[in-house]
Amino acid sequence: MKNYFSKFLPKNRAQKLSENDILFRKNISDIVGYNIHDLEIFKEAFSLKSSSKITSKKNYERLEF
């Protein structure tokens, strides 16, 4: 019976995050007001984007709520 249920029940998929990721998640959760489950979306939204390969200027994109 245990083998039968183990096929259908989801496994515990606890994320092991670095200290920077934990701090980032905490800060974003404080701003947004709820717990963040998908950290990659917010990382991509706040990542450093290069505006052009020719110029050395950088464009920081920001997430707007």
Reported pTM: 0.48
| pLDDT value of position 46 | 73
pLDDT, tens digit (0-9, with 9 covering 90-100), for 18-52: 888 888 889 889 988 888 888 888 887 777 655 54
The domains of the chain are located at 16-60
Contact between 36 and 24 (Cβ < 8 Å): no
Residue 11: DSSP 8-state = P
| pLDDT value of position 6 | 67
Question: What is the biggest distance separating any 2 CA atoms in the chain, rounded to whole angstroms?
Answer: 64
11 φ, ψ (degrees, to nearest 5)? -80, 160
pLDDT, tens digit (0-9, with 9 covering 90-100), for 7-17: 666 665 556 87
52 is written with which tokens?
């052009």
Contact between 58 and 49 (Cβ < 8 Å): yes
Q: Which residue has the tokens 């990659």?
A: 40
